[in-house]
Structures are given as C-alpha cells and as structure tokens.
Homo-oligomer: A and B are copies of this chain.
Amino acid sequence: MHAPIVFVTDFGADDTYAAALAAACWRVDPGLTALAGMHGVPPGDVLAGAYHVKAIAQALPPGAVICAVVDPGVGSERRAIAVEAGGLRCVAPDNGLASYLWAESDPRQRRCVALRTPPEASATFHGRDVFAPAAARLATGHSLDDLGDPIDAPPRLCEDAFATTAKDQTELAGAVCAVDHFGNAITTVRAADLHGRAVAAVEWPGGATTTSVRTYQEIAHGLAVLTGSAGHLEIAARGRAAAAIGGPQPHDPVRLRLQP
C-alpha cells in the first residue's frame, strides 16, 4: 500500500495547477490515490505555508509525504529538497517551507537531501515536473537517497517562524503567521512556548485582549486568545473574523505578556 501524499501550495484551487500535481503523481503510478491538498496559501507567503505544513503534519499517519510548493523563485537557483523529519517526508523548495517540520523534530531522526531537477522540467512549473514526481517516488517506496544527495547544511528556516522571549521570560514576541477561513489570526507563538504560564495579555498594532478561552463558543464578545488545533495561540472573535472587530492582520507583530 502506498503512503498518502498531501499537497500544500499557493496555487489556488481554480486553476489546473493543483490538479496537475495529482496527474503528475499518476504518471509515476496511477495507483497513488491517497491524495489530498490545500492550495490556499497566500501567493508567495512562505511563513503561512510553513504553518500549514506543520498543521497537516499533525493529522497525518507516519510515513506520509507532504509536497509543499510555495515557490516564487521557480526556475532560479534556489535549491529543491526532500526532508525526513517527525516520521514524515516533505519535498519543497528550500525557502523555509519546512521550518516547523524540521525545527520541531528530533535532531537525531531528521535529514535532508537536495533533489535533482530533470533537464526537461518547465522553467515555470516545478510543482508538476520536480516536486510531485519526487513525492510520488517517496510514496511508492523510494527512500530520500534515491532522490538526491545528502546536504550538510540544514534546510533554510523562516526567520519569523519562531517567537522570541524577552524581559525575564515574562514577554513573548511573535507574529501572525496565518489567518484561517473563519478569520482567526494564528500566531507564531505556541502553547508550548508558555511553559505552563497563563497569558495575561496579547497586544498587536492598534489592539489588545486580556481574555483567554478554551473554545470559540466561550467567547462572549470582543476578541479572545485560545490555543488552536495545531498548538499555536490565535486571536479569535465569535462568529466572525477577528480583523472585523480590530484583531490583527496577516504578518502583524504580536506581543504576549505572561502571568507571573
């Protein structure tokens, strides 16, 4: 049985690009039918893509393959890689898409190879011609070593992906890494970054909240902070987008004050 493949791209679902990834897998093996995808990463937004790679990784069974393509540098000299980390495999351009997957996995059980680009690949569509075929080969039983040579340096990481601690560990500084379909503003601050301490306040340009909740249903009015399903803190309103009532915008910085 083949390993499942999930695509994470900024292609949108309204073009042929997303469907072409499935088609390219079927060129390798038409039996590859455990395929799913999210194609709504904002165009060129590598940080949002990295978050979504992490979020889908948490739902996947061991051995699954993520094919991540947010690739404004297609056709240029940027490297293409395949990563093994956290029990999963991920192919992607080497631009930070694997940031969370790499940084949050056991250093003794992760590795990275550089993919070979076939000379006949289109200059504008490596998703179809490089990444999907590589994902298909992994899903059908090939190992990372069949796809390319190990690289010494780790993959590139997004600078902004990880919240920083300041003021004697009572403050955390991060950013909004993704805004979901419901308008919840997901931040780079993870529940684990709190080390068990409670949130006193979250601030962003032009707004703040001191309300913490466990579920969306508990939000009586205004904005609140809660831990989303991938373990990141998010700013949410009830029944509408956080930004509609003063919540943060994509990529806005956020600052958390923790209770002592």
Contacts and interface: CB of A to CB of B under 8 A. Distances in A.
A225 B121 CA distance: 19
Contacts of A1: 30-31
A164 interface: no
Nearest to A40: B14
Given A27-B59, A33-B33, A64-B26, A217 B74 contact: yes
Interface string A40-76: 1001100000001001101111001000000011111
A230 B125 CA distance: 9
Contacts of A8: 16, 19
Contact of A215 (B2, B55, B61, B123): B123
A67 to B, nearest CB: 12
A149 B122 CA distance: 39
A96 interface: no
A55 B230 CA distance: 32
Contact of A181 (B11, B26, B36, B60): B11
A19 B26 CA distance: 19
Contacts of A64: 23, 26, 30
A12 B60 contact: no
Given A19-B56, A36-B35, A43 B182 contact: yes
A218 B2 CA distance: 38
B4 A30 contact: yes
A33 B30 contact: no
Interface residues of A, number: 67
B19 A37 contact: yes
B122 A216 contact: no
A34 B33 contact: yes
Interface string A1-34: 1111010101111111111101110110011111
A38 interface: yes
Given A36-B35, A182-B43, A74 B23 contact: no
A39 interface: yes
Q: Which of the listed residues A6, A38, A128 has the most CB atoms from chain B within 10 Å of its own CB?
A: A38
Interface in A132-169: none
19 contacts: A2-B30, A6-B22, A12-B181, A13-B39, A15-B40, A19-B56, A20-B55, A23-B56, A23-B59, A23-B60, A27-B61, A30-B34, A32-B34, A44-B239, A72-B217, A74-B217, A75-B216, A124-B216, A125-B229
Q: List the 5 closest pairs (A to B, CB-CB), nearest first.
A: A14-B40, A75-B215, A12-B181, A125-B229, A23-B59
